[in-house]
Homo-oligomer: A and B are copies of this chain.
Amino acid sequence: MNSIVILGAGNVAFHLTRALIENTVNVRQIFNRTLAHAQEIGEANRIAYTDKISEIEKADLYIIACADSGIEEFSHYIPFDDVLVVHTSGSSPISALKGDYRKGVLYPLQTFTKTKKLRYDEIPFFVEAETPEDTNALKELAFRISNDVYELDYAKRMEIQMCGVWAANFVNHMYKIAGDICAKNNIPFDVLLPLIQETSLKVEEMSPYDAQTGPARRGDDIIIDRHLDLLQNDSRLLQIYQILTDSIKRDYDK
């Protein structure tokens, strides 16, 4: 890919632009409907930016990095046929792109926040295209950024995206609940951080099945009942605690 235009200016666009530029890929321009957001990324990476559809430049590849709900609209903005256009969503099919150009997907599995630095070379990329040539071109591009690149169709991309919900979104919600309990007891959330880090590092060295600890895994109903007592005034947490405990117990036949 000799030249790339990025469409969108959210967290994915921000980090993807930086990751490409850092790896000396030629990102020619960034487009966004809100100029200030395009400008922020453009100036940070010393590339052109615009908010005008008519100013979108010709390039080999267009990367639409926006929310799922915006893919179709963005996909109409590209006025060329002999180009490749991809979106970056785990949960949309190639057919979300509506133009007459060649189409594909470049999906990075990571949680992106503008303010947080990331190691781009460790981010898994999942690519899909309509032809082997475009698939290979996208793979090659992803390998410029990362060591972890896979070809994956829509059905499996949905599955891996859902894995992200379990391993990141739901995990963060567990942190949130633990933090709420700490706060209620005037204990700083920070005391949980070493445990949180250790729990995430453990599965680098052993499977989650082997890494499981705690009263549910041991089938320790005395402790479980004490915890349920503590939660008796919060039906939401009580229900979640019970269901997750039952689920762990089932995994270990307790």
Contact = CB atoms under 8 A, between A and B. Distances in A.
Contact of A202 (B109, B165, B172, B216): B172
A116 B205 contact: yes
A53 interface: no
Contacts of A232: none
Copies in the complex: 2
Contacts of A220: 68-69
Interface string A185-225: 10101011111111111111111110111111110101100
Interface in A208-252: 208-209, 211-218, 220, 222-223, 226-227, 230-231, 236, 239-241, 243-244, 247-248, 250-251
Nearest to A209: B176
Interface stretch (A16-24, A54-62, A79-87, A118-126): A118-126
A179 interface: yes
Contacts of A36: none
Contacts of A244: 170, 173, 240
Interface of A is mostly: helix
Interface stretch (A1-9, A37-45, A153-161): A153-161
A35 interface: no
A101 interface: no
Contacts of A204: 193, 197
Given A198-B118, A207-B179, A165 B111 contact: no
A163 B182 contact: yes
Contact of A187 (B156, B168, B197, B239): B156
A77 interface: no
A150 B191 contact: yes
A109 B197 CA distance: 12
